[in-house]
Amino acid sequence: MLTGSGAIPFPVARLIVIDGSFKMTRRSRLQPGTQLFLALLGLTLGVWVLRGIGILAFIPGIVLWFLILACLTAGVLNMVRSMR
């Protein structure tokens, strides 16, 4: 959702000049638990879509259920860890 000021709602890389050279910096970095959750979520969605279209039809359904369970577990552990 963009605001009227044209602000971007997510962190964007920015250029800074150090010793005459340009360097890319990031405003925020994701925690490792969040990175794991997002990677598992992307993998799960990718396998689910490709299996649905028939490209990965040979993969048994239990693999998809395992990926969903791993994604949920990583998400819950990440939330519990961030609340501490």
Note whether 59 and 51 are within 8 A (CB).
Answer: yes
Domain contains 2: no
Sequence-distant (≥ 6) Cβ neighbours of residue 36 within 8 angstroms: 74, 78
Domain contains 56: yes
Domain contains 7: no
- Is pTM, for the whole model, over 0.75? no
Domain contains 55: yes
Q: Residue 41: which domain range?
A: 29-83
What's the domain count of the chain?
A: 1
pLDDT per residue over 32-82, tens digit each?
A: 889 999 999 999 999 999 999 999 999 999 999 999 999 999 999 999 998
Domain contains 62: yes
